[in-house]
């Protein structure tokens, strides 16, 4: 079977499954994200180990799962803040105390790598859960937000609206990637960052950026018309920029560790981090954007 056939087959199965999990929301979506994060941690740890650096594997898994679970199970700001403080304090304490018994050699690299794995994976995947459940956060965060945002409308109190919004972000990322790939392949002459990704070009990056802005704006305009055009345009800009930066960020990790893909889990597509590299940058930024516009 050719690589293209493998890619099509995986996409034919994966996209409907992803749409089903997004639509279902609640525990089905949260458990799906937890599972993906679990796989992503393993891939990142393997990349670090390929560099000869040790990682506190158990701590990385437990801390990441704890952070994601906190956002999946609790929506009140006081409970989330308390849990995050406890988790982060316990994580930091555990990492440093555990390293005492592991030896001095490589301590800085091990501690830094473990913390980096936790931040990279938990921040990105937690953001997906928060955005999917944003209607629940709005109910509990009225005292934190100003309450004047358009997101307090009746439509945004519905779970389905945020399922659509989440899917549109994914769709925009895919459209951006596809436009960058095809335009870059056909017309790319000026290399974007050959040291990190030799095949990427400025022409492809610009095409991806424009496609992201247009796609995100049109999707929201036709399916969630209550969203102001300006919000969608800015959201498209953020997706077009940070989606491609996320791709480059993971590419540099793979290039430094000397591997082509983060894993061979998905035939023709690579691993979980290969499929979610853009999303792990876009969703935290989009979440921050949502918090900002709700605070003024």
CA distances from 97 to 28, 94, 102, 158, 191 (A): 36, 5, 9, 45, 46
d(CA 123, CA 152): 25
- The DSSP call for residue 54 is -
Below-70 pLDDT ranges, the chain: 1-8, 10, 142-148, 264, 266-269, 296
Residues 137-146, buried b or exposed e (16+ Cβ, 10 A)? bbeebeeebe
pLDDT number for residue 2: 58
In three-state secondary structure terms, 200 is strand
- Cα–Cα dist 60/42, whole Å: 9
| Assigned token pair, 15 | 């996209």
Burial class for 227, CB neighbours closer than 10 Å (0-12, 13-18, 19+): buried
Residue 119: the pLDDT is: 94
Domain regions of the chain by residue span: 3-293
Q: What tokens appear for 24 in the block?
A: 């279902």
Beta carbons of 272 and 262 less than 8 angstroms apart: yes
Beta-strand relationship, 191-193 and 197-201 = antiparallel
Per-residue pLDDT of 78-132, as tens digits, reads 888 899 999 999 999 999 998 988 877 889 999 999 999 999 999 999 999 999 9
Six-digit token pair at 86? 């406890």
25-29: long-range contacts (C-beta < 8 A, 24 or more apart)? 25/132, 25/133, 25/159, 25/162, 25/163, 27/72, 29/129, 29/132
């Amino acid at each position: 079977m050719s690589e293209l056939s493998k890619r099509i087959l995986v996409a034919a199965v994966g996209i409907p499954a992803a749409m089903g999990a997004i639509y279902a929301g609640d525990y089905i979506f949260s458990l799906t994200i937890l599972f993906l994060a679990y796989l992503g941690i393993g891939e990142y740890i393997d990349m670090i180990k390929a560099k000869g650096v040790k990682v506190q594997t158990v701590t990385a898994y437990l801390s990441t799962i704890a952070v994601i679970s906190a956002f999946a199970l609790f929506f009140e700001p006081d409970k989330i803040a308390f849990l995050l403080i406890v988790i982060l304090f316990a994580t930091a304490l555990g990492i440093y105390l555990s390293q005492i018994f592991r030896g001095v050699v490589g301590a800085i690299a091990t501690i830094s790598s473990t913390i980096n794995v936790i931040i990279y994976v938990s921040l990105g995947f937690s953001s997906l859960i928060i955005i999917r459940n944003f209607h629940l956060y709005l109910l509990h965060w009225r005292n934190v937000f100003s309450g004047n945002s358009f997101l307090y409308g009746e439509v945004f109190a519905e779970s389905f609206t945020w399922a659509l919004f989440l899917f549109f972000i994914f769709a925009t990322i895919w459209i951006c990637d596809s436009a960058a790939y095809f335009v870059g392949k056909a017309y790319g002459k000026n290399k974007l960052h050959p040291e990190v990704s030799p095949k990427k070009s400025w022409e492809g990056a610009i095409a991806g950026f424009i496609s992201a802005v247009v796609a995100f704006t049109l999707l929201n305009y036709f399916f969630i018309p209550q969203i102001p055009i300006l919000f969608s345009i800015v959201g498209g800009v953020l997706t077009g920029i940070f989606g491609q930066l996320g791709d480059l960020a993971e590419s540099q990790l793979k290039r430094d560790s000397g591997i082509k893909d983060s894993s061979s889990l998905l035939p023709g597509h690579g691993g979980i981090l290969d499929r979610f590299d853009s999303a792990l940058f876009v969703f935290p930024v989009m979440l921050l954007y949502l918090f900002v516009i709700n605070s003024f």
